[in-house]
Chain A
Amino acid sequence: MNYKLYHGIILLCWLFAFQPGIAQTSPFHLKIMSFNVCRSGELTQYSVTPFADLIRHYQPDVVALQEVDYKVARSNNMDFATELGAALGMFPVFGKAISYQGGEYGIAVLSKYPISAFQTYALPAPDGTKEERAVLITEIGFPSGQNLKFASTHLDHSSDKVRSVMASALNSYLLEGEMPIIVGGDFNAEPEESAIVDGMQQWKQIGDDSPTHPDNPIKKIDYLFGYPKEKCVTISYQVIKKTGISDHCPVLAEIKFQ
């Protein structure tokens, strides 16, 4: 090899290796889960322990939870997200959708790493909405220096039209900035509905259309989506069936942003 060319290549390699921000562009691996916990553990007599055991077994970095109670009478005034976070050593945050039985009902996020910011947004409730819903958006910093926007949501069970309006609002709240984004949730919509086909068209659906509901599942209504679409790669995906602790199956994925 030409001597000058050889040294030029070496120099370019060094320059490339010491580019500022190189860590930000290196692949960002994550293990993520979304789980509707069926009215904060109605099937576990409101004990968080079976949920903690399941989550601990799969070791996700972040979890989106739906149907979470905060100090609601039916679940003995427990703070489900904090108790589950305490059992796992994870950082919890709760997002209120509605006031209910003296407490609050909504969604939550658990993270292995501290949550550096969060905000809960009420989703629009057009005519025909049966229950007000919300999205909880968190920002999480990882030891690698990379940051993730991670959201949990639960769309209304009324109609595809209502859910499409809610999905459109999700996009307006979530699709801004440079950070990679994951949203997990119970969308109450099957894959062919417009809330998914049109509402989530800018997103990469993580995993396939395997059914997720009920515990021995027959239809898919629980999802994980990643953004930007072209940078989000699914490494593995699993629907965890027959847990016996909810009427939904948790969905679990390993992904990377490249």
Chain B
Amino acid sequence: MTRKELNIFFWTALSMILLVACSKNNETEQDESPWNKNNTVTIQFYSRLNNETLFQTSSYTELVNQLQNQPHRVAILHCADASLNTANQLNPTVSIAAQAGKVPLFNKSSLSDNEVRGSGVLIGHTTTEMKTLPVADGCTWFSIPTYGSPILFMSFSTISFEEGTHISPGATIIRENIDDETVMIGTINKTLREQLESEFPSEIYRFVSIEGTSSANSQAIFILTTKRWIVRESTEIQIDNKKISSFQIQVEKLE
């Protein structure tokens, strides 16, 4: 091999190595970037993950302690249904908010004369607006502007899917409203997870699902964002005699 051929081989080999290294870096750049905890929102999610009402008693002490002792910006009380009985209207979301010093909001999924079904959303400050859009009876999109940290604005959104027929119209509403500020956390019946994920191309969106430890759960939690966000950590503990799962989910907004 001549010196000239050796030079060509050397530079070609070096170019290939650099090209492969850069490609690999691009592919995993966001996943491998250091976790900026200052740009991270912590969200608590309480659920039985089986579409059953969250509270079967009006004692919320354990959950209130958890809310007060574990730092978070938003907490979701999935299926925190309220009774509309005139003599004794029970509204767990508002009772818990009063005890834990939170501001309560509610995403109604269905309403009758005696009961309202849906999820409570608790935040640590007042907000100037809240929007919901009904997808179908039992399925409503919810959104509020809030802060994921003192310096991190976010649009928090939630929805729950139990019926396959709700996925397509629900996904349309989500796509119309999601942007780089949005963090959506909801529940999905496990049998519908792939159908929901297929509505959000992975080139644009990040779809992460989390299952509880109990194999009896019929639902999973999903987190949907654009590529600007990444789920960094999720931990689960169980409260109320292991009937309620409490998830602590940390989502970082990438620079």
Interface residue ranges, A against B (CB under 8 Å)? 59, 70, 79, 82-83, 85-86, 88-96, 104, 112-120, 141-143
- Is A85 a contact of B104 with CB atoms below 8 Å? yes
Whole-angstrom distance from the CB of A207 to the nearest CB of chain B? 24
- Is A83 a contact of B98 with CB atoms below 8 Å? yes
- Is B97 a contact of A86 with CB atoms below 8 Å? yes
Inter-chain contacts of B97 with A (CB < 8 A): 79, 82, 86
The answer to whether A115 and B98 touch (CB under 8 A), given A89-B89, A91-B91, A104-B126, is: no
The answer, among B104, B113, B132, for a CB contact under 8 Å with A143, is B113
- Is A94 a contact of B84 with CB atoms below 8 Å? no
In the assembly, what is the distance between CA of A178 and CA of B186, in Å? Answer: 31
B78 is an interface residue with CB less than 8 A from chain A: no
The answer to whether A90 and B89 touch (CB under 8 A), given A79-B98, A112-B84, is: yes
- Is A94 a contact of B91 with CB atoms below 8 Å? no
Q: Which residue of A lies closest to B97 (CB)?
A: A82
B88 is an interface residue with CB less than 8 A from chain A: yes
The answer, among B89, B94, B131, for a CB contact under 8 Å with A82, is B94
B56 is an interface residue with CB less than 8 A from chain A: no
Within 8 A of A (CB), among B94-114: 94-95, 97-99, 101-106, 108, 111-113
- Per-residue CB contact flags for chain B residues 121-135 toward chain A (1 = under 8 Å, else 0) read 000001011111000
Whole-angstrom distance from the CB of B23 to the nearest CB of chain A? 46
Inter-chain contacts of B154 with A (CB < 8 A): none
- Is A117 a contact of B89 with CB atoms below 8 Å? no
In the assembly, what is the distance between CA of A113 and CA of B86, in Å? Answer: 12
B82 is an interface residue with CB less than 8 A from chain A: yes
The answer, among A93, A117, A143, for a CB contact under 8 Å with B112, is A143
In the assembly, what is the distance between CA of A119 and CA of B83, in Å? Answer: 26
Known: A114-B111, A143-B112. 9 other contacts (CB 8 A): A79-B97, A79-B98, A82-B104, A89-B90, A92-B104, A113-B116, A115-B106, A115-B130, A116-B108
A-B contact pairs, 6 of them (CB 8 A): A82-B104, A86-B91, A113-B111, A119-B128, A119-B129, A143-B113
Q: Which residue of B lies closest to A89 (CB)?
A: B89
B170 is an interface residue with CB less than 8 A from chain A: no
Inter-chain contacts of A118 with B (CB < 8 A): 129-130
B148 is an interface residue with CB less than 8 A from chain A: no
In the assembly, what is the distance between CA of A113 and CA of B84, in Å? Answer: 8
Q: Which residue of B lies closest to A114 (CB)?
A: B108
Inter-chain contacts of B106 with A (CB < 8 A): 91, 114-115
Inter-chain contacts of B131 with A (CB < 8 A): 117
Inter-chain contacts of A83 with B (CB < 8 A): 98
B212 is an interface residue with CB less than 8 A from chain A: no
In the assembly, what is the distance between CA of A157 and CA of B104, in Å? Answer: 31
- Is A120 a contact of B129 with CB atoms below 8 Å? yes
- Is B88 a contact of A89 with CB atoms below 8 Å? yes
The answer to whether A114 and B103 touch (CB under 8 A), given A86-B91, A89-B90, is: no
Whole-angstrom distance from the CB of A171 to the nearest CB of chain B? 20
Whole-angstrom distance from the CB of A216 to the nearest CB of chain B? 31
Inter-chain contacts of A119 with B (CB < 8 A): 128-130
- Is B132 a contact of A116 with CB atoms below 8 Å? yes
In the assembly, what is the distance between CA of A79 and CA of B89, in Å? Answer: 20
In the assembly, what is the distance between CA of A70 and CA of B126, in Å? Answer: 8
Inter-chain contacts of B111 with A (CB < 8 A): 113-114, 141-143
Inter-chain contacts of B94 with A (CB < 8 A): 82, 85-86, 89-92
- Is A82 a contact of B132 with CB atoms below 8 Å? no
Pick from A88, A141, A142 the residue with the most CB of B within 10 Å. A141
- Is A90 a contact of B91 with CB atoms below 8 Å? yes
In the assembly, what is the distance between CA of A54 and CA of B88, in Å? Answer: 15
In the assembly, what is the distance between CA of A70 and CA of B124, in Å? Answer: 12
- Is A79 a contact of B129 with CB atoms below 8 Å? no
Inter-chain contacts of A59 with B (CB < 8 A): 86
In the assembly, what is the distance between CA of A143 and CA of B88, in Å? Answer: 18
Inter-chain contacts of A120 with B (CB < 8 A): 128-129
Q: Which residue of B lies closest to A134 (CB)?
A: B128
- Is A112 a contact of B89 with CB atoms below 8 Å? yes
Inter-chain contacts of A96 with B (CB < 8 A): 126, 128
Q: Which residue of B lies closest to A104 (CB)?
A: B126
